Amino acid sequence: MSTSTTADFRTRLQDWLPKVVLAPSFAVILLFVYGFIAFTVVLSFTGSKMLPKFDFIGFTNYAKLFALQHWTTAVVNLAIFATLYIAISMAVGLMLAIFLDQKIRGEGLLRPLYLYPMALSFIVTGTAWKWFLDPGIGLEKTMHLWGWESFHFTWIKDSDMAIYTIVIAAVWQTSGFVMAMFLAGLRGIDNEILKAAQIDGASNWQLYRRIVIPMLRPAFLSAFVILFHLAIKSYDLVVALTGGGPGRATELPATFMYSYTFTRNQMGIGASSAVIMLMTIAAIMVPYLYSELKEKP
Amino acid sequence: MAAVTQDTAVSTGRVTRTFLYVVLGVFALFYLLPLYVMGVNSVKPLAEITGGNMMALPRVWTLEPWRAAWSTAQIGIEPTGLRPYFLNSILMVVPAVAISTVLGALNGYVLTKWRFRGDTIVFGLMLFSCFIPFQIVLIPMALVLGKLGLAGSVPGLVMVHVVYGIGFTTLYYRNYYASFPTELVRAAMMDGAGFFQIFWRIMLPVSGPITVVSVIWQFTNIWNDFLFGASFGGTSQPMTVALNNLVQSSTGVKEYNVHFAGAILAALPTLFVYIVAGRYFVRGLMAGSVKG
Amino acid sequence: MGFLDISHVTKSYGQVQVLHEVDIAVQEGEFLVLVGPSGCGKSTLLNMIAGLEAISSGDIAIKGRVINGVHPSKRNIAMVFQSYALYPNMTVGQNMTFGLEMHGVPKPARDAALADVAKLLQIDHLLDRKPGQLSGGQRQRVAMGRALVRNPDVFLFDEPLSNLDAKLRVDMRTEIKKLHQKLKTTIVYVTHDQIEAMTLSTRIAVMNKGYVQQLGTPKEIYDTPANLFVATFMGSPAMNILPATVVMEGGQPHAEITDADGARRLLRFSQGNLAEWADKPILLGIRPEAITDPEGADRKSANIQPLANRVTVTEPAGSDTFVTMTLSGKDVIARMRADAMVAPGEVFDFAINMDKAVAFDPATEARIPQ
Ligand SMILES: Nc1ncnc2c1ncn2[C@@H]1O[C@H](COP(=O)(O)OP(=O)(O)OP(=O)(O)O)[C@@H](O)[C@H]1O
Ligand SMILES: [Mg+2]
């Protein structure tokens, strides 16, 4: 008997139609994301200045990059910023979520209040905090007018402290969002487990430390991944809040890349700094996405 | 034993509860303060800001800073106010949101209901594109936009935002459709519905919630973008870039009240969307934590 | 050649073969039930008939036309899904006529067909509701209605009753049976519930691990199971299986077993041809209802063998009492009349209907023909 598996026209059409529909998006991503990444990687090995040139000079750009004081400052700043930003946002977010989860009256009002900064542009956030922290018209002056003459808060003008003002503004913007993630995690915990723990005699503190917080592991992971990639991509906030200053005190790799590529005409070095940024994110994101996507049917 | 109901609340004493409310209240102030400062100072004459208290309510109320920010303030070299840039942003956001959402819906539909060998890899590649630092694509994008004659134009910005938004919209729709029973699609197939008929008649009618999420997400992201606007905006800069130019301009007196009014203008559309549909937005952010 | 022919059909997912050379010919008007444990490939086979899964090799034909590769909607079949798969955004009426609409049937004809089927299934009053506003049983009816409206050549059911509670399941089972008797449609029905299989079917295909173990009428499957798997899968409580040895006594084959106290006992077989197995081990299969008290024994049986044995446990279940004892080191269940006076611990005189006993080859697990 013939095993004729030739499908009819309708079936064959239905077979390739989905792929045809997906193809443009995928092609665009392949070209504009992965193609461009490849292009930038290639550029980072060339001596391009104002325009791309394909004179390969090996790892020279990378060597130069890591010899630059400017880049070192940016990397150190990023390390400080990312660590504090992620840690404080998570701590604040977790605390607010746990507190809000105690049958608080007015939760419906507080939640959107904590969250609304998420809806703002970093440029708006930066503008607001820039003036709020400006000693001449902002917080310091207000305190003086209210009679606290010795109040002193000039971090934004202080090269050693300015990076922390970026942390403050960034935490302000995203900690409410982290709170929402943790709150969703808390609400997803099966109450029977908590009842069982209470019957077992766990105190409130033990209940949270031993049962609830460990069960929030997925929320911690998601929050970390999102904050981490936001930290490395941070650009607008610095531009609006400090413009990278005072001096270069708040330069981050993102602002470094922009100024080297587009204002200093050191495209090769700019490209190599972008590659370093990508590799840093990929080191966290690739394993994360891999574990999220594998073994799903 | 405390009665545990819908939350993980534990039984607490009076003192503890007071402490909870105080902490929550202090944080509420922390989140509100910058908005309050911008608000009150945008309706004060400049002299009251430089001479007075940032926290105080205006003695003389004025809408002049708002008018100035909207239509006369110096942006770059032209005294146009933010109005033309606001328009640029609208012209950029609406098509970019529409196109990326439609593509995301179709992609999510294919990736969940018409699975094929290698679909997970395709999705993984699309998903990773959400997380790349955009610095890595700035240089080639500038070249390509130039070649296409789209540099410094609104269509150019639309294209950029669509390209880098597809990953997110696809993620949202894929996660949403993944929990949509495949048996329904099979039933529709047996009923004789084709690929687009199933999408149109079966999937789309139940996609309301995720479409709200995708639209809000894309709208806030694109409206708030600065990097692409600053890099490729040219003469068609969006609102965020114009606001930054207004605030950072080094010429003349710093008109703080105008800056604040401008900042609020830039924030209004997203704040509005957030107030109207914020609940869905939060739900969407949850879905954003890549759950299959 | 049948109405629906499944010939040499196999299915593989990559390296894993989940169906092996399935051959079933379904006659017109037949109610074929595919039954087997979870994961044995029932749904896969049904989906291949529906066209929802590609056929790896072999052919499926309806009315002599090979339909491999034909689009599901062009096969003139309808399917009722386990989850009912009702379109949540459409009313009951729209759900039921969606298929006709897709096939370009004009509205008056659709409405007429809808009215007929709605009346038949007594769901006329539900037509404007959304599926979310229906009970489980009503959804089940609507799902069947959607299939009926199409008036297909073959109906496919994939565990349609498994989402209903026990009482409703029995009611719907009767209803499906009535419907089939009235409409005389050809049905292929998947279930892993052997009672459903026995009550509904005109023929049963028992499947395991991708193989059709036996294809036959419910009676054939129950009384003459092809192998140990079919024997133990069909029937509840399951058939008792005892290791035994065939011995010849007075020229007749007997099964030699041991009782609860380890004493040797002989049960005479009704059939003579087991003589070839003299002095060899076999597996003896006796259904619980073939072990009774002497008064409850089947009067038509020509071969009732007495067996006194110690009772371990008694479980009264209303209509019957299940009695457990030990034979050849195995727990054996007997199904007694409710008023049989049996007490645990006592030695009771059982009667075994050896006409119903079957024997299996321990090596191949196939039934030894008698
Ligand atoms: N897409 C697939 N890829 C790989 N293996 C599959 C796939 N679909 C089904 N299988 C395997 O094929 C076998 C048969 O599956 P099938 O769904 O037909 O079982 P079933 O008899 O309907 O079981 P159940 O009673 O649980 O519904 C199973 O072992 C299953 O794991
Ligand atoms: Mg199944």
> Which one of B186, B191, B206 has the shortest CB-CB distance to C102?
B191
C293 and C203 share a domain?
Answer: no
* Segment C100-108 long-range contacts (CB within 8 Å, at least 24 positions apart): C100/C149, C100/C150, C102/B191, C102/B192, C102/B193, C102/B197, C102/C73, C103/B192, C103/C73
Q: Is the CB of C52 under 6 A from ligand 1?
A: no
> Which atom of ligand 1 is found nearest the CA of C36?
21
By CA distance, what is B187's nearest residue in C? C85
Residue nearest to atom 24 of ligand 1 (CA): C38
C135 and C180 share a domain?
Answer: yes
C229 and C254 share a domain?
Answer: no
Which token pair is A225? 């991944």
Q: What is the pLDDT at residue A2?
A: 37
Nearest ligand to the CA atom of C192:
1
Helix pair A9-29, B119-128: axis angle to 10 deg: 30
Rounded CA separation C189/A74 (Å)? 68
Optimal mutation site among A9, A21, A22, A289, interface B, most CBs of chain B within 10 A = A22
> Could you tell me if B193 lies within 8 Å of chain C, comparing CB atoms?
yes
Whether the Cβ atoms of residue B223 and residue B93 lie closer than 8 Å to each other: yes
> Which atom of ligand 1 is found nearest the CA of C41?
18
SS (H, E, C) chain C: CCCEEEEEEEEEECCEEEEEEEEEEECCCCEEEEECCCCCCHHHHHHHHHCCCCCCEEEEEECCEECCCCCHHHCCEEEECCCCCCCCCCCHHHHHHHHHHHCCCCHHHHHHHHHHHHHHHCCHHHCCCCHHHCCHHHHHHHHHHHHHHCCCCEEEEECCCCCCCHHHHHHHHHHHHHHHHHHCCEEEEEECCHHHHHHHCCEEEEEECCEEEEEECHHHHHHCCCEHHHHHHCCCCCCEEEEEEEEEECCEEEEEEECCCCCEEEEECCCCHHHHHCCCEEEEEECHHHEECHHHCCCCCCCEEEEEEEEEEEEECCCEEEEEEEECCEEEEEEEECCCCCCCCCEEEEEEEHHHCEEECCCCCEECCC
C49 and C179 share a domain?
Answer: yes
Q: Is the CB of C2 under 6 A from ligand 1?
A: no
Q: What is the pLDDT at residue B3?
A: 37
C114 and C160 share a domain?
Answer: yes
Rounded CA separation C121/C14 (Å)? 43
Chains A, C: CB pairs < 8 Å: 33
The tally of domains found in chain C comes to 2
Q: What is the pLDDT at residue B11?
A: 61
Among the listed residues A180, A133, A200, the one whose alpha carbon sits nearest the alpha carbon of residue A161: A133
pTM above 0.80, yes or no: yes
Per-residue pLDDT of chain C in tens (370 residues, 90 and over written 9): 678 999 999 999 988 999 999 999 999 999 999 999 998 999 999 999 998 888 999 999 999 889 888 888 888 899 998 888 899 888 999 999 998 988 889 999 999 999 999 998 889 999 999 998 998 889 989 999 999 898 889 999 999 888 888 888 888 899 899 989 988 999 999 998 889 999 999 999 999 999 999 999 999 999 999 999 999 999 888 999 999 999 988 888 899 998 888 888 889 988 777 888 888 999 999 999 999 988 888 888 888 888 889 999 999 888 889 999 999 988 999 998 888 788 888 899 999 999 889 999 999 999 988 7
CATH of the domain at C342: 2.40.50.140
Classify residue C89: in a domain, yes or no.
yes
pLDDT tens-digit readout, B134-163 = 888 988 998 899 898 888 888 999 999 999
Chains B, C: CB pairs < 8 Å: 59
Q: What's the angle, vertex CA C351, arms to CA C347 and CA C352, rounded to 5? A: 120
Q: Is the CB of C38 under 6 A from ligand 1?
A: yes
Q: Which CATH architecture has domain B81-289?
A: Orthogonal Bundle (1.10)
C45 and C138 share a domain?
Answer: yes
Chain C neighbours among B 158-187 (CB < 8 Å)? 181, 183-184, 186-187
Rounded CA separation A85/A173 (Å)? 11
Rounded CA separation A117/A176 (Å)? 8
- Say which CATH class A61-293 falls into: mainly alpha
Q: What is the pLDDT at residue B250?
A: 67
CATH of the domain at C76: 3.40.50.300
The dihedrals phi and psi of C243, each to the nearest 5 degrees, come to -70, 135
Mean pLDDT, 10 residues at a time, chain A of 297 residues = 56 85 94 93 86 82 87 89 93 91 83 87 87 79 76 76 89 90 82 76 78 84 84 84 80 88 86 90 87 69
Domain boundaries along the sequence of chain B = 2-70, 81-289
ipTM of the complex: 0.84
Instruction: Tell which of C176, C201, C233 closes a domain.
Output: C233
Residue with tokens 């955009």: B134
C300 and C175 share a domain?
Answer: no
Structural domain of C259:
240-360
Classify residue C301: in a domain, yes or no.
yes
Q: What is the pLDDT at residue B10?
A: 60
Q: Is the CB of C37 under 6 A from ligand 1?
A: no
Helix pair C107-121, C92-102: axis angle to 10 deg: 130
By CA distance, what is A284's nearest residue in B? B131
Q: What is the pLDDT at residue B288?
A: 45
Rounded CA separation A184/A177 (Å)? 11
Which amino acid does the sequence have at C197?
A
Nearest ligand to the CA atom of C35:
1
pLDDT tens-digit readout, B272-282 = 888 888 777 66
C256 and C219 share a domain?
Answer: no
Chain B residues lying within 8 Å of C52, measured CB to CB: 186, 189-190
